[in-house]
Amino acid sequence: MVKAVVGANWGDEGKGKITDMLGETADIIVRFQGGSNAGHTIVNDYGKFALHILPSGVFYDHTTSVIGNGVAFSVPALFKEVNDIVEKGVPMPKIKVSDRAQIVMPYHVLFDEYEEERLKGAAFGSTKSGIAPFYSDKYSKIGFQVSELFDEETLVKKVASVVEKKNLIIKSLYPGKPLLDEAELLKTLHEYRDMVAPYVTDTAKFLKDAIKEGKTILLEGQLGTLKDPDFGIYPMVTSSSTLAAYGAIGAGIPPYEIKNIIAVCKAYSSAVGAGEFVSEILDEDQAKELRDRGGDGGEYGATTGRPRRMGWFDCVASRYGVQMQSATEVVLTVLDVLGYLDEIPVCVGYEINGEVTKDFPVTTKLAKAKPVYKTLPGWKCDIRGIKNYEDLPENCRNYIEFIEKELETPITMVSNGPGRHEIIYRNK
Identify the H or E element spanning 86: helix 75-87
Work out how close the CB of 419 gets to ligand GDP at its nearest, in angstroms, rounded to a whole number.
8
Closest CA to 416 of 382, 393, 365: 382
Closest CA to 266 of 327, 325, 338: 338
Q: Which lies closer to ligand GDP via its Cβ, residue 13 or residue 276?
A: 13
Binding site for ligand GDP (CB under 6 A): 7, 11-17, 38-41, 43, 295-296, 302, 333-334, 336-337, 415-418
Closest CA to 252 of 213, 216, 219: 219
Which residues does 225 contact at the CB level (< 8 Å), separation at least 6? 6, 7, 8, 9, 231, 232, 242, 243, 320, 321, 322, 324, 325
Active-site choice (20, 27, 40, 52): 40
Q: Which lies closer to ligand GDP via its Cβ, residue 111 or residue 312?
A: 312
Work out how close the CB of 54 gets to ligand GDP at its nearest, in angstroms, rounded to a whole number.
12
Residue 402 Rama label (left phi>0; alpha psi -120 to 50; beta):
alpha
CB–CB of 407/322 below 8 Å? Answer: yes
CB–CB of 2/257 below 8 Å? Answer: yes
**Beta-strand relationship, 200-201 and 258-266:** unpaired
Work out how close the CB of 148 gets to ligand GDP at its nearest, in angstroms, rounded to a whole number.
30
Residue 254 DSSP SS3:
coil
* Phi and psi, residue 31, nearest 5°: -90, 130
The C-alpha atoms of residue 17 and residue 415 are separated, in whole angstroms, by 9
Q: Which lies closer to ligand GDP via its Cβ, residue 279 or residue 415?
A: 415
Active-site choice (12, 27, 228, 336): 12
Work out how close the CB of 268 gets to ligand GDP at its nearest, in angstroms, rounded to a whole number.
11
Q: Which lies closer to ligand GDP via its Cβ, residue 41 or residue 65?
A: 41
Q: Which lies closer to ligand GDP via its Cβ, residue 196 or residue 332?
A: 332
Q: Which lies closer to ligand GDP via its Cβ, residue 254 or residue 297?
A: 297
Q: How far is CA 210 from the centre of its chain?
A: 25
The C-alpha atoms of residue 185 and residue 160 are separated, in whole angstroms, by 9
Q: Catalytic residue at 12?
A: yes
Across 200-285, the runs of DSSP E, i.e. the strands, are 200-201, 217-224, 258-266, 269-271
Work out how close the CB of 237 gets to ligand GDP at its nearest, in angstroms, rounded to a whole number.
16
Work out how close the CB of 218 gets to ligand GDP at its nearest, in angstroms, rounded to a whole number.
13
The C-alpha atoms of residue 65 and residue 46 are separated, in whole angstroms, by 18
**Beta-strand relationship, 370-377 and 343-352:** antiparallel
Q: Catalytic residue at 190?
A: no
Catalytic residues: 12, 40
